[in-house]
Amino acid sequence: MNDSPSRAAPPRLETAVKAAGARRLERSNTLFRQLTFGSALLVLAIFVGMFCVLLYGAWPALHTFGVSFFTKSVWNPVTEKFGILALVYGTLVTSALAMLMALPVGVGIAVFLTEFCPRPLRRPIGISIELLAGIPSIIYGVWGLFVFAPFFQRTAQPFLVDVFADAPVLSSLFAGPPYGIGLFTASLILAIMILPLITAVTRDVFDTAPSVLKEAAYGLGCMTRETVWKVVIPYARAGVFGGAMLALGRALGETMAVTFVIGNAHRIKASLFAPATTISAAIANEFTEAVGDLYKSSLLAAGFFLLFITFVVLALAQLMLVQLEKRAGGMRV
């Protein structure tokens, strides 16, 4: 009878130790969950704070000019007449052209690295491309202004003007004196800057394609080109689209490189060779010299609209990604 308590003690002790360990694990999980939730709220608070600060600073200009602030291209600090239509035009055109040039090249490089490149060369080539993302944007701008723009002025622009001189629509897009700087030059610099981002993301999502799907395609007699086009790209299209939207967000907000080569002219021209400006370039060039509350408020309003454009683009991208995932969900293994 005296031995029974001693025999029962170890199980009770073991149960107590397990219960204490479970409580510690629960507390650590709760703390971790609260920290991650707080981090998410902090990011949201920073975004809302930026939004509110920019809106507060932009309100005098928005109240003064109303809708005409977005529909007119006049930008005259002397008479305090401001409209950001030319800035929005330059921002959207340079970003769209950069995506048109960079996206096919980036996807092609990713296909080469994952399917065609010899294995010993994959890592050196991949690292070389990704190193482009580490170059400061001001270096791209200096290179574009002192190296690329003179070459473009003397060689590429005169050639394109002569080639498309008789084309009905292209003659207007590729027309005008060869300045060497302008919308097209800025778009090309942007394309080079966002190329590493598109390539890196696309290569990573291509690597996630199950080998069983590719082997099945090869077993059916498909060539590598057909396997990539009909298996790999459809499987990874959501990731490719996400990488493209990240690159677009980078292109919309790029400042220094564009400032060097776009010409910084507040006007809208049909020619891609004409000087123009973007929202970020205008803010960088003029904010330190802005005299008067209305001038500063107009620049802040331009920045607020750029934030709004970027938010809308990325939000639509997320919605499209969700739809792509839903459509492709039944096809994945």
What pLDDT digit, counting tens, does each position of 130-173 carry?
A: 888 888 888 999 999 998 899 888 888 888 888 888 888 888 88
Examine the domain organization and report whether 20 and 96 are in the same domain: no
Nearest-angstrom CA–CA distance, 17 and 15: 5
Give the percent of the chain with pLDDT over 70: 94
Examine the domain organization and report whether 251 and 324 are in the same domain: yes
Examine the domain organization and report whether 210 and 127 are in the same domain: yes
Examine the domain organization and report whether 160 and 301 are in the same domain: yes
How sure is the predictor about 46, in pLDDT bands with cuts at 50, 70 and 90?
very high
DSSP annotation of 287 reads G
For 40-85, give the DSSP string.
HHHHHHHHHHHHHHHHHHHHHHHHHHTTHHHH---EETTTTEE--H
Last residue of a domain, one of 65, 82, 101: 65
Examine the domain organization and report whether 216 and 85 are in the same domain: yes
Looking at residue 330, its pLDDT comes to: 46
Nearest to 107 by CA among 233, 214, 192, 225: 233
305's CB contacts (< 8 A; 6+ apart) are 70, 84, 88, 279
Last residue of a domain, one of 65, 86, 110: 65
Looking at residue 189, its pLDDT comes to: 93
Examine the domain organization and report whether 120 and 5 are in the same domain: no
DSSP annotation of 274 reads S
Examine the domain organization and report whether 89 and 222 are in the same domain: yes
Examine the domain organization and report whether 226 and 288 are in the same domain: yes
Looking at residue 312, its pLDDT comes to: 86
Model confidence pLDDT, tens digit, residues 162-206: 888 888 888 888 888 888 888 999 999 999 999 988 998 888 888
Q: What are the C-alpha distances in Å from 41 to residues 21, 30, 246, 308?
A: 30, 16, 22, 20
Nearest to 127 by CA among 117, 141, 139: 117
How sure is the predictor about 328, in pLDDT bands with cuts at 50, 70 and 90?
low
Nearest-angstrom CA–CA distance, 271 and 67: 27
Looking at residue 222, its pLDDT comes to: 80
Give me the mean pLDDT over the 232-261 stretch: 86
How sure is the predictor about 298, in pLDDT bands with cuts at 50, 70 and 90?
very high
Last residue of a domain, one of 65, 83, 108: 65
Q: Letter for the amino acid at 55?
A: L
Examine the domain organization and report whether 58 and 7 are in the same domain: yes
Examine the domain organization and report whether 50 and 195 are in the same domain: no
- Give the CA angle between residues 124, 230, 98 to the nearest 5°: 55
Mean pLDDT of the chain: 85
Model confidence pLDDT, tens digit, residues 86-112: 999 999 999 999 999 999 999 999 889
Examine the domain organization and report whether 53 and 108 are in the same domain: no
The yes-or-no verdict on residue 13 having pLDDT over 80 is no
The yes-or-no verdict on residue 333 having pLDDT over 50 is no
Q: How many residues does the chain have?
A: 333
Give me the mean pLDDT over the 232-253 stretch: 85
The yes-or-no verdict on residue 8 having pLDDT over 60 is no
For the entire predicted model, the pTM comes to 0.83
Looking at the structure of the chain, the number of domains it has is 2
Examine the domain organization and report whether 84 and 55 are in the same domain: no
How sure is the predictor about 230, in pLDDT bands with cuts at 50, 70 and 90?
confident
Looking at residue 1, its pLDDT comes to: 46
Task: Compute how many other C-beta atoms are within 10 angstroms of the C-beta atom of residue 241.
Answer: 17
**What is the residue range of 262's domain?**
67-329
